[in-house]
Each structure stands twice: as structure tokens, then as C-alpha cells.
């Protein structure tokens, strides 16, 4: 939820950091860790010890351990549908019927999966 300084140096370290803004000031030792492995709230989301954080350039999500397999499976399936749809749109077809994938396009999607040796 807070600001971060030295973002170019942190980016060069390939350290995955998510912050609300950048700020040049240094606060010395005014902000130091006081605890760890305790529940926190960040951007209105509760994060508990053991939660899995997954992020990319567009943001981050918090996944409770009990949901990791379900979320991973759903995410992989979405990636496959989107990759198929992007190929279709790049070939000149309309977004309509591909984002989201319409029922009438599922046979083509299933054939595409089979060609790639993918299971769904």
C-alpha cells in the first residue's frame, strides 16, 4: 500500500516488488519490520501466513493454500482458451465468440488442443 524509493535499482535486481507509488525520501529507521508471520492487509486484501502470492507486471493475487490447485488449474485452462482465441483473432476473425469462448467454438478449441497434445 505504500511508496518505495530506488525503484530503478530494485528493478535491476529482478526483485518482484509491488507498490502504490515511488517516493524519493528516506525515512531512516522510522519504518522497520516489527513482526512477521502475522496476518496483514494490503490494498484491502487480507494476507495470512502461508498464503501464496503470484504476480506479474499487471498486479498480484493472494491465494490461500487450500485453493492453490484449483486456481492453478483454472488459470492454466484460461491461458489455453486465451492462446487459442488470440490465434483466431490474429488470423483475422472477430473477437466475438472468442472472448469469452462461445459454445459454438468449443469443437474448434478441442481440435486445437488435440493438435497440440494438450488436455483440458
101: left (phi over 0), alpha (psi -120 to 50) or beta: beta
- SS3 call for 66: helix
Q: Which fold has domain 3-63?
A: Glucose Oxidase; domain 1 (3.50.30)
C-alpha 87/C-alpha 91 separation (Å) is 6
Domain boundaries defined on the chain: 3-63, 68-116
* pLDDT by 10s per residue, the chain, length 120: 778 888 888 889 988 888 888 888 776 666 667 889 999 998 899 999 999 999 988 889 999 999 999 999 999 999 999 999 999 999 999 999 999 999 999 999 999 999 999 988
pTM: 0.74
Pair 22, 63: CB distance under 8 Å: no
Amino acid at each position: 500500500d505504500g511508496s518505495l524509493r530506488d525503484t530503478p535499482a530494485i528493478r535491476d535486481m529482478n526483485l518482484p516488488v509491488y507498490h502504490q507509488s515511488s517516493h524519493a525520501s528516506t525515512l531512516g529507521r522510522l519504518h522497520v519490520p516489527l513482526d512477521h508471520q502475522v496476518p496483514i492487509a494490503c490494498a484491502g486484501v487480507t494476507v495470512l501466513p502461508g498464503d501464496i502470492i503470484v504476480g506479474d507486471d499487471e498486479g498480484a493475487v493472494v491465494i490461500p493454500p487450500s485453493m492453490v490447485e484449483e486456481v492453478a488449474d483454472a488459470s492454466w485452462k484460461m491461458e489455453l482458451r486465451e492462446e487459442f482465441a488470440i490465434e483466431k483473432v490474429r488470423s483475422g476473425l472477430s473477437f466475438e465468440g472468442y472472448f469469452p469462448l462461445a459454445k459454438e467454438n468449443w469443437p474448434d478449441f478441442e481440435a486445437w488442443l488435440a493438435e497440440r497434445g494438450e488436455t483440458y
